[in-house]
Structure 1
Amino acid sequence: MVRMNRATSKDGTSIAYERLGRGPAVILVGGGLDDGAENAPLAAELASRFTVFNYARRGRGASADTLPYAVEREIEDIDALIAEAAGPASLFGASSGGALALEAAAAGLPIDRIAVYEVPYMTDDVVQGHYVQYVNELKHALGGGRRGDAIELFMRLAGSSEDDIAGARNSPLWPGLEALAPTLAYDAACLGDGRPPTERLARITQPTLVATGGVPDPHTGGLQPGFFDAAADAIAATIPNAERLIIEGQTHVADPAVLSSALARFLTD
């Protein structure tokens, strides 16, 4: 059984994390509605070659939260985990967690390498307009305590069908999703206005892997074709030392064994 550890962020917030394996340090940054569970299989795969820090972002799982929220506080959380690693660490961020990882690197944290997978930046004006509308509706839903409605908004934004949403509502996982609903606003803050923050991304000097899968996810079928690839291309074109990779045969939630192999090659190159 993996032991739960705790790091204390600059504002006093307690951040829960699991530490696995031995070797160079890598911190896994989860995406929307993830309390660290989604990255747990990847952490197990990477642990044969790395010291892996798989943490629950603030407001999720066993981690505490301190209001008001700010992206800068989440960057400080990562800094606290780097301190736990006792030196520079690499970051891997999935989906909106990739946006947070990039913001942490742009802020100047002592990061060795950065890898991101399918960051949902928007390069299309119409899609970006839908995102701005989503953020406004999300604020009203959460402000009114309508956590279920907030999750539905997120699922529709991500391209889920009405059948997918109905299935999720009837799933035993739904109460857990509702518990995480307030953190959807945190992910939205990490994405800003939804567009790639080119000015900040250009500050990143570390080697950066920008990856996508080669297969559309059945649960994000409502997104325009090439959505994640267009975002990844924009990121890779902006970061001076970026490598663009398509991991063939993978959807938005990649197979941990396949993803860990690609990450290991990049992180030890």
Structure 2
Amino acid sequence: MDQVGKAESGDGTLIAYRRTSGGGPPVIMVGGAFSTAEAEAPLAALLAPRFSVITYDRRGRGGSGDTAPYAVEREVEDIAALLKKAGGTASVYGMSSGAALALEAAAAGLPITQLAVYEPPYGTGAVDATDGAAYTARLEDLLVRGRRDEAVELFLSMVGVPPDVVARMRRATMWRGMTALAHTLAYDNAVMGPGPVPTERLARITARVMVVDGGASPPPMRVAARAVAAALPRGRHRTLTGQVHEVAPHVLAPVLAEYFAGAA
């Protein structure tokens, strides 16, 4: 049976979560850009028979609060509050920018027993860092001026969505939900930092970590995944054949289940 509640973070922000329990060990899922607990539900449902799965709305999204000013450290404290709800320790899975946030939480010393991340979108070169600085400046300008549609378009173009696909998305019902979360794109951008893989911080992570990528994902994404795995003291890398950044839950779930059960 699902349990719905709110965890109080370090700054008093209430973080809405849902716990789907199969009676097994706890797993906390950290979503990426535009993601909410609802978006993570299909993967959570596949893991629930073997684990107690906690999905949550990251701050500024869904049912969670949003206390200014934003700082990545506050999102790390959100995960700490969820770990307390989980019983003190838990495994953690992070997707995309949520993968980077999960890595930040582990580097901060949170009691994460083991961690799995899918395609943290770090840059891998000087060009990526230069592009990232320009993106940050443009995104901040659009959000300050309340141009939420343009901010979403900017993000989509930055991650490689073709203009014709963006145009179709603007006409779809999902667009309203995306623009409602446009302000959180700045949060995801802060989590990613200046762009390159943060090798020094990753070297502080003591938990074992599985870094997963899709075999059909763009080469820069796969290069970044390998670089993250190489920077981790107990990192390992795995590729899911034929998968892309929007990984299929039914393909990913058994890989996570095996890993979190300690059999990987």
Query: Given residue 121 of structure 1, which amino acid in structure 2 is its aligned partner?
Result: Y
CA distance in 1, matches of 2:165, 2:144: 25
In the other structure, the counterpart of 1:52 is 53
In the other structure, the counterpart of 2:154 is 153
In the other structure, the counterpart of 2:256 is 263
In the other structure, the counterpart of 1:247 is 240
Conserved? CA contact 2:31–2:94, under 8 Å: yes
Identical aligned residues as a percent:
50
In the other structure, the counterpart of 2:8 is 8
Deviations 1:220-256 (A, max 9, x none): xxxxx41111111111111010110001121111111
Query: Given residue 16 of structure 2, which amino acid in structure 1 is its aligned partner?
Result: A
In the other structure, the counterpart of 1:127 is 128
CA distance in 1, matches of 2:91, 2:68: 28
Q: 1:113 Cα shift?
A: 0.3
Conserved? CA contact 2:148–2:179, under 8 Å: yes
Conserved? CA contact 2:30–2:56, under 8 Å: yes
Give structure 1 stretches of 5+ with no counterpart: 217-224
CA distance in 1, matches of 2:55, 2:243: 22
Equivalences, count: 261
**Which residues of 2 match residues 194-213 of structure 1 at below 5 A?**
194-213=195-214
SS in 2 for 1:67: coil
Query: Given residue 182 of structure 1, which amino acid in structure 2 is its aligned partner?
Result: H
Q: Which moved more, 1:166-175 or 1:48-57?
A: 166-175
CA distance in 2, matches of 1:236, 1:253: 20
2:229 to 225, 233, 236: 236
CA distance in 1, matches of 2:227, 2:38: 29
SS in 1 for 2:55: strand
In the other structure, the counterpart of 1:219 is none
Query: Given residue 11 of structure 1, which amino acid in structure 2 is its aligned partner?
Result: D
CA distance in 2, matches of 1:48, 1:64: 30
CA distance in 1, matches of 2:209, 2:189: 23
In the other structure, the counterpart of 1:71 is 72
SS in 1 for 2:128: helix
SS in 2 for 1:7: strand
Over the aligned positions, Cα root-mean-square deviation in angstroms equals: 1.1
CA distance in 2, matches of 1:143, 1:112: 39
Conserved? CA contact 1:27–1:92, under 8 Å: yes
In the other structure, the counterpart of 1:220 is none
SS in 1 for 2:53: strand
Deviations 1:22-65 (A, max 9, x none): 21111000000112232110000000100000000000011111
Conserved? CA contact 2:230–2:236, under 8 Å: no
In the other structure, the counterpart of 2:193 is 192
Conserved? CA contact 1:214–1:250, under 8 Å: yes
CA distance in 2, matches of 1:190, 1:56: 16
Q: 1:128 Cα shift?
A: 2.5
Give structure 2 stretches of 5+ with no counterpart: none
SS in 2 for 1:31: coil
Query: Given residue 246 of structure 1, which amino acid in structure 2 is its aligned partner?
Result: T
CA distance in 1, matches of 2:180, 2:3: 23
Q: 1:3 Cα shift?
A: 4.4
Conserved? CA contact 2:128–2:196, under 8 Å: no
In the other structure, the counterpart of 1:138 is 139
Conserved? CA contact 1:131–1:157, under 8 Å: no
Deviations 1:136-186 (A, max 9, x none): 100000000000110001000110000111011111111111110000000
- In the TM superposition, structure 1's runs of 4+ consecutive aligned residues that sit over 6 Å from their partners are none
CA distance in 1, matches of 2:149, 2:38: 20
Query: Given residue 242 of structure 1, which amino acid in structure 2 is its aligned partner?
Result: G
